[in-house]
Chains A and B, each alone.
Chain A
């Protein structure tokens, strides 16, 4: 029972068929808030086009890890690299504010659990999507409109409402706007923090469908955080189980969910299914 607290108990193994280099590589990343070790010495890698799931109970450090991957929260220690043109071999945790923003704007998209964190509620939905391009320097109005339309369409947002304020939209539609915003710059990395948790089951299913088809079409490498094993099972290729800031188990989704090795994961799987 002591094994699961040992961060080195497992080594992340790539799916056998993938032979390319990982697009995301994190080693020994850590974050402490006062007495709380939110993320402790986590290693992870994501391969091009795959969806990496992260499950774990509340407070296990999933969102904190994601915020660090989004470079919006500084890490205490560790290394973080993205295999993207122009950024290879750069230690991303050492970038200055300006470079972090540059990288984030053009290569990383994020969807938060709460639309308030990801959307400007007083701007139109299309404006929220256009913002990404504007921040990246696009200054042609017609291009912005087209980009908003195509991103919103890709996230299956009803286009006749593209100029409504997000606060006049349903929760599911708000998540679709967030998704459209996240993919507007065709990012290399998509971070999803519980994208469907606030939604009722049928809406959740439809948003998941969108995510799945989008992912299949565009092959964006994705990190998906969820405490819902159903969501992970539907979408993720591989999964990491987190507890108390540590990764206690990782592997192919089917393997982990069908045959969990750690006692904690067994509990999690049985409680859910």
Chain B
């Protein structure tokens, strides 16, 4: 009798990492090009994946092209290892490459993420793969993509500052929350994917390599280690991260980490650290388990770990 299990192809029928050799070679070449031109959006073929476009196919392809048998992969979605999307991607990557999955930021060699960077500092040799829904940061000021590409070529970014000017005039502050446009290596303005402003400074002069991949839009770009990533700002009006200084995590009692706000029925709100892998480790530590906590980007007083560009 036929069962689902007997109909299923054995994993030997797939190439290592699901993608065929040509796809992987193309991706690796495009990644090298992206690393060579920091912040520049390199077009790539973007294969069909067994998940729908818009669910992380870009990040998934980059991860599969990079992963080897000894890689350790962590996948998060909005900081959480447990969301359906993250769990599915993690299982798929593990099954197709045979490499180990982990929840510990310190252990992983590849961290694929949607909408967050981890709280613990990534180190030399680690790769952060960010899923990007819309790579074109100029789209909001120039809907015509042909012209937008000319603007990138000419480094014609005045309109991005005009957008910031308008925000200051109308709201008295920068209101762009996620995907805060940032100048990479003094040349290309990129969208850092929809990470909160809190995470943008972590890309600046980072030890790790960041790869940003948009599957539907077929664009891949990168921030190599130790590269300048400067959020757009005026010389007299500065970029700032989210103000959460009076929020305390309900699970761990920590402050000065990026929090999720959880509304309560009585109209108040609770807060929890959004990076669940880190929060879990904090709790384990409190319960006396032997876990290693890495150094974080923001310390317990909310101070960023290097001088960077954050001004107060």
- B and A form one assembly: yes
Chain A interface (Cβ < 8 Å from any Cβ of B) = 97-98, 101, 120, 123-124, 126-127, 130-131, 134-137, 139-142, 144, 163
B166 an interface residue at 8 Å Cβ cutoff? yes
Q: How far is the CB of A189 from chain B (nearest CB, A)?
A: 21
Q: Is B165 an interface residue (CB 8 A)?
A: yes
Query: How far, in whole Å, are A144 and B235 apart by their CA atoms in the complex?
Result: 11
A126:B154 contact, CB within 8 angstroms: no
Contact across chains for A140 and B236 when beta carbons are under 8 A apart: yes
Q: How far is the CB of A177 from chain B (nearest CB, A)?
A: 14
Contact A141 B158 (CB under 8 A): no
Per DSSP, chain B at the interface is: helix
Q: Are A97 and B159 in contact (CB under 8 A)?
A: no
- Residues on B facing A (Cβ under 8 Å): 150, 154, 156, 158-159, 161-162, 165-166, 168-170, 234-237
A134-B158 contact given A124-B170, A144-B165, CB 8 Å threshold: yes
Question: In the assembly, what is the distance between CA of A137 and CA of B162, in Å?
Answer: 11
Contact A130 B162 (CB under 8 A): yes
Asked if residues B161 and A124 are in contact (CB atoms below 8 Å), the reply is no
Measured between beta carbons, the chain A residues less than 8 angstroms from B168 are 141
Chain A residues lying within 8 Å of B161, measured Cβ to Cβ, are 134, 139
Asked if B150 and A134 make an inter-chain contact with CB atoms under 8 angstroms apart, the answer reads: no
A131/B158 in contact, CB under 8 A = yes
- Within 8 Å by CB of B154, from A97, A120, A141, A163, lies A97
Query: Contacts A98-B154, A141-B168 hold; do A127 and B162 have CB atoms under 8 A apart?
Result: yes
CB-CB under 8 A from A163, the residues of chain B are: 169-170
Q: Within the assembled complex, what's the spacing in Å between the Cα atoms of A144 and B237?
A: 12
CA distance A134 to B166 in the complex (A): 12
Q: Which of chain A's residues has its CB closest to B161's CB? A: A134
CB distance from A138 to the nearest CB of B (A): 9
On whether the beta carbons of A141 and B234 are closer than 8 Å, the reply is yes
With contacts A101-B156, A135-B156, A141-B168 taken as known, whether A123 is within 8 angstroms of B237 at the C-beta atoms is: no
Q: How many Å lie between the Cα of A163 and that of B150 in the bound state? A: 30
- The smallest C-beta distance from B311 to any residue of chain A, in angstroms, reads 14
**Distance (whole angstroms) from the CB of B234 to the closest CB of chain A:** 4
Point out the residues of chain A lying under 8 angstroms from B165, CB to CB.
127, 130, 134, 141, 144
Number of A-B contacts (CB under 8 A): 48
Q: A123 to chain B: which residues have CB within 8 Å?
A: 162, 166
- Beyond contacts A124-B170, A140-B234, A142-B236: 13 other A-B pairs, Cβ-Cβ < 8 A, are A101-B154, A124-B166, A127-B166, A127-B169, A131-B158, A134-B162, A135-B156, A139-B161, A141-B165, A141-B168, A141-B234, A141-B236, A163-B170
For A123, A135, A141, the residue with the greatest tally of chain B CB atoms inside 10 Å of its CB is A141
Closest-CB distance, B175 to chain A (whole angstroms): 15
Q: Supply 17 A–B pairs (Cβ within 8 Å), ascending by A.
A: A97-B150, A97-B154, A101-B154, A120-B162, A124-B170, A130-B165, A131-B158, A131-B159, A134-B158, A134-B159, A135-B156, A136-B158, A139-B161, A139-B234, A139-B235, A141-B235, A144-B165
Q: Which residues on the B side are within 8 Å of A142 (C-beta)?
A: 236
**In the complex, what residues of A have CB within 8 A of residue B150's CB?**
97
Among A123, A131, A134: residue with most chain B CB under 10 A: A134
Tell me the smallest distance from the CB of B228 to a CB of chain A, in Å: 16
A147-B90 Cα distance, complex, nearest whole Å: 54
Chain A residue nearest in CB terms to B235: A140
| Closest 6 pairs (CB-CB, A-B) | A135-B158, A134-B158, A141-B234, A140-B235, A141-B237, A134-B161
Query: Could you say which residues of chain A place their CB within 8 Å of the CB of B158?
Result: 131, 134-137
Most buried by A among B159, B162, B237: B162
Q: How far is the CA of A112 from the CA of B130 in the complex (A)?
A: 45
Give CA–CA (A123, B161) in the complex, Å: 12
- Complex formed: what's the CA distance from A120 to B154 in Å? 21
Collect the chain B residues with CB atoms within 8 Å of residue A98's CB. 154
Known: A139-B235, A142-B236. A124 touches B169 (CB 8 A): yes
Please measure, in the bound complex, the distance between the C-alpha atom of A139 and the C-alpha atom of B183, giving whole angstroms.
Answer: 14
Chain B residues contacting A127 (CB-CB under 8 Å) are 162, 165-166, 169
Q: Which residues of B contact A139 (CB under 8 A)?
A: 161, 234-235
Shortest beta-carbon distance, B164 to chain A, in Å?
Answer: 9
Report the bound CA distance from A192 to B195 in whole Å. Answer: 46
What CA separation (Å) do A166 and B162 show in the bound complex? 15
